[in-house]
Amino acid sequence: MVGPAYFVALAVILFVIGGVGVLTRRNAIVIFMCVELMLNAVNLAFVAFSRMHGNLDGQVIAFFVMVVAAAEVVVGLAILTAIFRARRSASVDDANLLKY
Amino acid sequence: MNHSTVLALGQAAQTENLAFWVLAVMSVAAALGMVLARRAVHCAVLLAVVMLSLAALYAELGAPFLAFVQIIVYTGAVLMLFLFVLMIVGVSSRDSLVETIRGQRLAAGLVGIGLLILLALIIGHAAIGPAAPPSAANSASNLPGIATLIFTTYVFPFEVTSALLITAALGAMVLAHRERTKPKPTQRELARLRVASGRPAPLPGPGVYALHDAVDMPALLPDGTPSNLSVSPVILQRELGADESRAGPPARAGELEAGTGENTEQPEGARW
């Protein structure tokens, strides 16, 4: 029987993949997608722990994480379109007005 | 518990095992592909694969409500939003392969491996017990149980969430709004501009003929040369990877700088 430990291990792997994506990619939208992947991995860990303890608090927290992630995506993508309108680029290297 | 129920339980556990391994391999492969794919659209599709397999994993973990929320909110709403923004920002936008910071990819890979080892050590030392015996939490009363928790213990965070959502909606509207800096051109001005641009007629349509039934075929001019003006710049840009010989959109973009009429198509991403 596959226990919660396997699910947590899968969550760790997905989280690390998402983190590496955030560090390596240059397109801001793809970076956003990698952040979403990390959030999803954490959700999986929450649900696995909820299964392990046999109560529902973990699932409720995962639900709140989903709500916050949805709000975050809405604002983030609006910022991206605003930056794209000003800079004609979705690359994170081109939005450098606050540098130095 | 008689013999046949034990057998059935064993079979169910085997099916769950198989489902877990298939979904785990699928989600990890799709996540790796998402990090490695160069086109943003491919990344979005692979992210959809990851999210759908995670929804199936939630269902397997006894969280049917979260499985459906995952499909509806993430795959349905969030990924649609991603694809909409990709459509605005440019379907063909690719990552540049130039490293702005030297050795950044290598360092990121090392950080990733270090993080993986660290987290593996942590969860290796943590006592992650077996699944709790089937209780009210992961049975048919999953949904009423979550509803009870949200509206009793977590009712204050739940109310705060509504404020967050309203703020996010307002913020998105403010950020995506564009002030018109100059007055809207009247029809008279547009007509003047069009005549002054040297091309009063609409752009030629694409050459959809009996041999080539597709909009990416340029129309032929009377002297037999293909007219690149007849193909949408988006299509030209998307095909550049396969067919470098075709004239790209830059030649076209310069020509269209002057006119802002209805028929002149601005380069990709210029329309909102």
- Model pLDDT, residue B102: 79
- Residues of chain B with C-beta less than 8 angstroms from the C-beta of A68: 161, 164
Tens digit of each residue's pLDDT (9 = 90 or more) over B81-92? 999 988 888 665
Interchain contact, A52 vs B130, CB within 8 Å: yes
What is the C-alpha to C-alpha distance for residues A11 and B119, in angstroms, rounded to an integer?
10
CB A46 within 8 A of CB A58: yes
- Residues of chain A with C-beta less than 8 angstroms from the C-beta of B100: 26, 93
- Residues of chain A with C-beta less than 8 angstroms from the C-beta of B167: 71
Q: How far is A95 from chain B (nearest CA, A)?
A: 13
- Model pLDDT, residue B269: 40
Interchain contact, A33 vs B85, CB within 8 Å: no
Please choose, from the candidates A11, A31, A9, A28, the residue with its C-alpha nearest in 3D space to the C-alpha of residue A20: A31
- Model pLDDT, residue B261: 38
Interchain contact, A26 vs B178, CB within 8 Å: no
Interchain contact, A51 vs B62, CB within 8 Å: yes
- With a cut of 70, list the residues of chain A below it in pLDDT: 1, 100
What is the C-alpha to C-alpha distance for residues A64 and B200, in angstroms, rounded to an integer?
56
Chain A interface test: which of B61, B102, B139 (most A C-beta within 10 Å): B61
Tens digit of each residue's pLDDT (9 = 90 or more) over B70-81? 999 989 889 999
Non-local CB neighbours of B271 within 8 Å, separated by 6+ positions: none
- Model pLDDT, residue B15: 82
Q: How many CB pairs under 8 A join A and B?
A: 243
Phi (first) and psi of residue B128, to 5 degrees: -90, 105
Interchain contact, A33 vs B172, CB within 8 Å: no
Long-range contacts of B193-201 (CB under 8 A, 24+ apart): B193/B258, B193/B259, B193/B260, B193/B261, B194/B259, B194/B261, B194/B263, B196/B258, B197/B258, B197/B259, B197/B261, B197/B264, B199/B259
Using the Cβ of B95 and the Cβ atoms of chain A, whether some distance falls under 8 Å is answered with yes
Question: For B196, what's the count of Cα atoms within 13 Å in the CB-facing half-sphere?
Answer: 11
CATH 3.30.950.10 fits B1-92, yes or no: no
End-to-end Cα separation, chain B, in angstroms: 65
Using the Cβ of B269 and the Cβ atoms of chain A, whether some distance falls under 8 Å is answered with yes
Using the Cβ of B120 and the Cβ atoms of chain A, whether some distance falls under 8 Å is answered with yes
Residues A45/A51/A55/A57 CA torsion (nearest 10 deg) = 20
Domain residue spans of chain A? 4-87
Interchain contact, A67 vs B135, CB within 8 Å: no
CATH pick for A4-87 out of 3.30.565.10, 1.10.287.3510, 1.10.645.10, 3.40.50.2300: 1.10.287.3510
Complex confidence, ipTM? 0.93
- With a cut of 70, list the residues of chain B below it in pLDDT: 1-10, 90-99, 134-140, 208-211, 234, 236-272
Interchain contact, A66 vs B32, CB within 8 Å: no
Q: Which residues pair with B220 in a beta bridge?
A: B226
- Model pLDDT, residue B209: 65
Using the Cβ of B25 and the Cβ atoms of chain A, whether some distance falls under 8 Å is answered with no
- Model pLDDT, residue A41: 95
- Model pLDDT, residue B259: 38
Using the Cβ of B53 and the Cβ atoms of chain A, whether some distance falls under 8 Å is answered with no
Strands (E), B91-241: 219-220, 226-227
Question: For A87, what's the count of Cα atoms within 13 Å in the CB-facing half-sphere?
Answer: 16
pTM of the predicted structure, to 2 decimals: 0.77
Please choose, from the candidates B236, B252, B268, B254, the residue with its C-alpha nearest in 3D space to the C-alpha of residue A89: B268
- Model pLDDT, residue B263: 41
Residue B119, judged by CB atoms within 10 A of its CB (0-12, 13-18, 19+), counts as middle
